[in-house]
Chains A and B, each alone.
Chain A
Amino acid sequence: MPRINSPAELEEFRRSILSKRSDDRPCITLCSGSACHATGSEKVAAAIVAELENHGLTDQVEIRRTGCHGFCEQGPIVVIYPEGICYLKVKPEDVCEIISHTFKEKKLVERLLYVDPTTGDKSSYEHDIPFYKNQQRLILGLNRKIDPKSLEDYLAVGGYKALTKALFEMSPDEVIGEVKAAKLRGRGGAGFPSGMKWEFARKAPGDQKYVVVNCDEGDPGAYMDRSLMEGNPFTVLEGLMIGAYAIGATEGYIYVRQEYPLAVDNLSVAMKEAERRGLLGKNIMGSGFDFTVKVHRGAGAFICGEETSLLASLEGKPGEPKSRPPFPANKGLWGKPTNINNVETWANIPVIINEGAEYFSSVGTESSKGTKIFSLVGKVNNTGLVEVPMGIPLRDIIYKIGGGVPKGKKFKAVQTGGPSGGCIPEAYLDVKVDFDELMKMGAMMGSGGMIVMDEDTCLVDIARYFLEFLSDESCGKCVPCREGIRQMLKVMTDITQGRGKEGDIELLENMAMATQGAALCALGKTAPNPVLSTLKYFREEYEAHIKEKRCPALSCKELIAFHIDPERCKGCGSCLRKCPANAIEGGKKTIHVIDQEKCTKCGTCIEACPAAFQAIDKLSGVPVPAPVPQEKRALA
């Protein structure tokens, strides 16, 4: 394993890798991100290896286990190159057919192809699937082409070209100038101009400086950082090194949530690979630039995504925020100038250096350049990671890419920006998504979680949910956040459990203003956003809960009841067999009745009741009809 000592040697090595590969050699790739692990990609991988051996194809077909492709709803995903044939939801027992059909007989396995839920059209190739077709994957695109642990794969797709260019053709100031000209804004949520932040750290006095990757992706509902870190750790490292060179740092830290073990593993392997080749460590490629990096696992605290808390945690202390200024750019880790950026921000850097600021700033809107990865989840047909140019209308993301709301339900709202964000109702779906437009709406970009909600989602409960999350995650250092969130949560809990009273809404508004104005860090300052935005757009839902003790979405447990309609019940017993609480009485050919005392309102009975009968209703705000007397329950 010789070290690479110069850019010429790197290119030589790259050429030798590429000479062994050809674009038309058959290659079968399997998504092995965390979500596909959960749906069984390990077993599929084993089956692929075994089947290729059975058919004697081991030497002719390459297998590549890649990171996340982003279409997690349909995992595990198998893509066969050079054609780009895409099979979805692949099970181990499908593999035999895939190998024999696709490689031997050159036919497609029809049942594993993508079917459009609205039109019923099939797509044989990856690039034809609407979910992929309407995206622009500048950052995530490489995930499908590389094995995250293979430096050779990364070099084959042009890896380390940006670092070479920065180290050998640009001065640190030129690198910063390029990032400033690209108008890149931080992808962690607040959208601060990255080039400016780098410049502050570069100009800060001091010899020892640090760069840090923030992969403490705590926002529930967002997982793009995880997929980048798991699927392409080399590109994050490359971006980090370019930043270190520009700022004048020789040491870096990568802070990863402990909930992301696969990200830690893949990253550690990538670091070892880069070290062995001399692409990390002392005198990188003979340039005289030294850089070492350490991985630090978080220990389960949402607040550690806030930069000052993250630094405290890196020092081995409890992650409590400090007031700024001084900003980390002047006094950060161990009191030295430190630059912290989010994973996705770092991953944008190689693209900017390779393609140039002009190209990068041609994508996006006036104020927000480049692409943004959103995790499109919740009540939407195609859940997964979506990378789109800034400025795309929300409607396109949800309908063109996401394929709309499942089961013919009605769209109600989309929640962006996690616990600090807000809900956007249908009337505003044509808003162009960028940092400033979302802020105007009372939502925010945040880390890019985008949770779609339909008519069955209660928005009062969603606001309560975020407060509960934040109350749990508030570090407790400052009173406005610790007590403000707790008291708001108390009121919200009362409202959703039928104990709401006149004046609660005004009280919530008052507490929200106080918390917003007085909290120490962004967690507390933005905590009231979910409440304020739902009050702004869905006030009538609050009023229904308070005045009529009715949940319009029929979702708040304390305000609903399940009732079997005696007219429609056929006495089949499906609900009785499935009820986990034994709350249903009935027998053969008799009308079934739910014992309201025993019912835990889990909803299993509604799912169990045959679609032809639909005998079970959810009621809210009205009294439950008295059960049919015993003697009248027999069905003819």
Chain B
Amino acid sequence: MDISRIDQIIDNHNAEQSSLIQILLDIQAEHHWLPKQALDRVAEKLDVPMNRIQHITTFYKAFSQVPKGRHQIHVCMGTACHVRGAQRVLDTISDATGIKAGETDAELKFSLETVNCLGCCALGPVMVVDGEYHGNVAPAQAADVLKNYE
């Protein structure tokens, strides 16, 4: 982990305490998780206690304190996707990857997350793999999509 890069992110936000969430979002975006070292650095530079940082990282869903897999799978569980069978899509992916929502497999290949609405309600059910959207997916198709990832 590159501490100077963390410092740069903090400086981009002028090291303001009120930008704590924005700083953590930027670190999360680069690493896909929040390493302890990075959090220590943020606490030190912004002069905020670690318990406040922990409160933030556990309160907001975007943050993870465990490493994530090489490929991020997001399955939308919004209402529109739900009525069109998102649960079945999620179950099939769980069967195919052997992990439940919120988990990462031992090889760090996939991380599976559910999202409460991606705002593509017209295309439901929607799954996203590494930022690539797949709309109107049927359960069997969802498992096929994952075969393309190493």
A residues whose Cβ falls under 8 Å from a Cβ of B: 34-35, 37-39, 72-73, 75, 217-223, 226, 258-260, 296-302, 313-319, 375, 377-379, 383-384, 415, 418, 449, 451, 453, 457, 462, 465-466, 469, 472-473, 475, 557, 578, 580-581, 600, 602-604, 607
B108 within 8 Å of A (CB atoms): no
In the complex the two chains form, is A475's CB within 8 Å of B59's CB? yes
In the docked arrangement, what's the CA distance between A449 and B85, Å?
A: 18
B residues whose Cβ falls under 8 Å from a Cβ of A: 16-22, 24-25, 55-56, 59-63, 77-80, 82-85, 87-88, 91-92, 95-96, 115-124, 126, 133-135, 138-140, 143
The residue in A318, A449, A466, A472 that gathers the most chain B C-beta atoms within 10 A of its C-beta is A318
Q: What are the residues of chain A within 8 A of B126 when measuring CB–CB?
A: 38
In the complex the two chains form, is B55's CB within 8 Å of A38's CB? no
Chain A residue nearest in CB terms to B85: A603
The residue in B56, B78, B87, B134 that gathers the most chain A C-beta atoms within 10 A of its C-beta is B78
In the complex the two chains form, is A220's CB within 8 Å of B117's CB? yes
Chain A residue nearest in CB terms to B95: A580
Please give me the 6 A-B residue pairs with the lowest Cβ-Cβ distance, nearest first: A300-B61, A72-B122, A38-B133, A299-B60, A220-B78, A377-B80
Q: What are the residues of chain B within 8 A of A298 when measuring CB–CB?
A: 60
Contact of A462 among B24, B63, B83, B134 (CB under 8 A): B83
The residue in B95, B121, B126, B143 that gathers the most chain A C-beta atoms within 10 A of its C-beta is B121
In the docked arrangement, what's the CA distance between A379 and B82, Å?
A: 11
Chain A residue nearest in CB terms to B16: A316
In the complex the two chains form, is A315's CB within 8 Å of B84's CB? no
Q: What are the residues of chain A within 8 A of B116 when measuring CB–CB?
A: 218, 220, 302, 469, 472-473
If A34-B119, A383-B121 touch, does A221 touch B59 (CB 8 Å cutoff)?
A: no
Contact of A259 among B24, B79, B119 (CB under 8 A): B119
- Nearest CB of chain B from residue A513's CB, rounded to whole Å: 25
Q: What are the residues of chain A within 8 A of B124 when measuring CB–CB?
A: 377
In the docked arrangement, what's the CA distance between A557 and B60, Å?
A: 31
By DSSP majority rule, is chain B's interface helix, strand, loop, or mixed? helix
- Nearest CB of chain A from residue B15's CB, rounded to whole Å: 12
In the docked arrangement, what's the CA distance between A313 and B56, Å?
A: 10
Chain B residue nearest in CB terms to A557: B87
The residue in A220, A259, A379, A383 that gathers the most chain B C-beta atoms within 10 A of its C-beta is A220
In the complex the two chains form, is A300's CB within 8 Å of B62's CB? yes
In the docked arrangement, what's the CA distance between A296 and B20, Å?
A: 11
In the complex the two chains form, is A299's CB within 8 Å of B80's CB? no
Chain A residue nearest in CB terms to B138: A607
Chain A residue nearest in CB terms to B114: A472
The residue in A302, A314, A604 that gathers the most chain B C-beta atoms within 10 A of its C-beta is A604
- Nearest CB of chain A from residue B120's CB, rounded to whole Å: 5
In the docked arrangement, what's the CA distance between A70 and B83, Å?
A: 20
Chain B residue nearest in CB terms to A320: B59
Q: What are the residues of chain B within 8 A of A453 when measuring CB–CB?
A: 83
A/B interface sample: 28 pairs, CB < 8 A: A37-B133, A38-B134, A39-B123, A39-B135, A217-B119, A221-B78, A221-B117, A223-B117, A226-B119, A259-B119, A296-B22, A297-B22, A300-B62, A300-B63, A301-B61, A316-B20, A375-B121, A378-B79, A378-B80, A378-B83, A384-B122, A415-B79, A451-B79, A451-B80, A580-B140, A602-B139, A603-B88, A604-B139
- Nearest CB of chain B from residue A146's CB, rounded to whole Å: 20
In the complex the two chains form, is A299's CB within 8 Å of B62's CB? yes
In the complex the two chains form, is A220's CB within 8 Å of B80's CB? yes
Chain B residue nearest in CB terms to A456: B83
Known pairs A299-B61, A300-B63, A602-B92. 13 more at Cβ < 8 A?
A34-B118, A38-B133, A218-B116, A223-B119, A223-B121, A260-B119, A297-B21, A300-B62, A301-B59, A378-B84, A457-B83, A462-B82, A465-B79
- Nearest CB of chain B from residue A195's CB, rounded to whole Å: 29
In the complex the two chains form, is B117's CB within 8 Å of A318's CB? no
Q: What are the residues of chain B within 8 A of A72 when measuring CB–CB?
A: 120-123
In the docked arrangement, what's the CA distance between A615 and B22, Å?
A: 55
Q: What are the residues of chain B within 8 A of A73 when measuring CB–CB?
A: 122-123
Q: What are the residues of chain A within 8 A of B79 when measuring CB–CB?
A: 220-221, 377-378, 415, 418, 449, 451, 462, 465-466
Q: What are the residues of chain B within 8 A of A578 when measuring CB–CB?
A: 140
In the docked arrangement, what's the CA distance between A188 and B20, Å?
A: 27
Q: What are the residues of chain A within 8 A of B91 when measuring CB–CB?
A: 600, 602
Chain A residue nearest in CB terms to B88: A602
- Nearest CB of chain A from residue B27's CB, rounded to whole Å: 12
In the complex the two chains form, is A219's CB within 8 Å of B117's CB? yes
Q: What are the residues of chain A within 8 A of B56 when measuring CB–CB?
A: 299, 316-318
If A38-B126, A299-B61, A378-B83 touch, does A315 touch B18 (CB 8 Å cutoff)?
A: yes
Chain B residue nearest in CB terms to A419: B79
If A378-B84, A580-B143 touch, does A258 touch B25 (CB 8 Å cutoff)?
A: yes
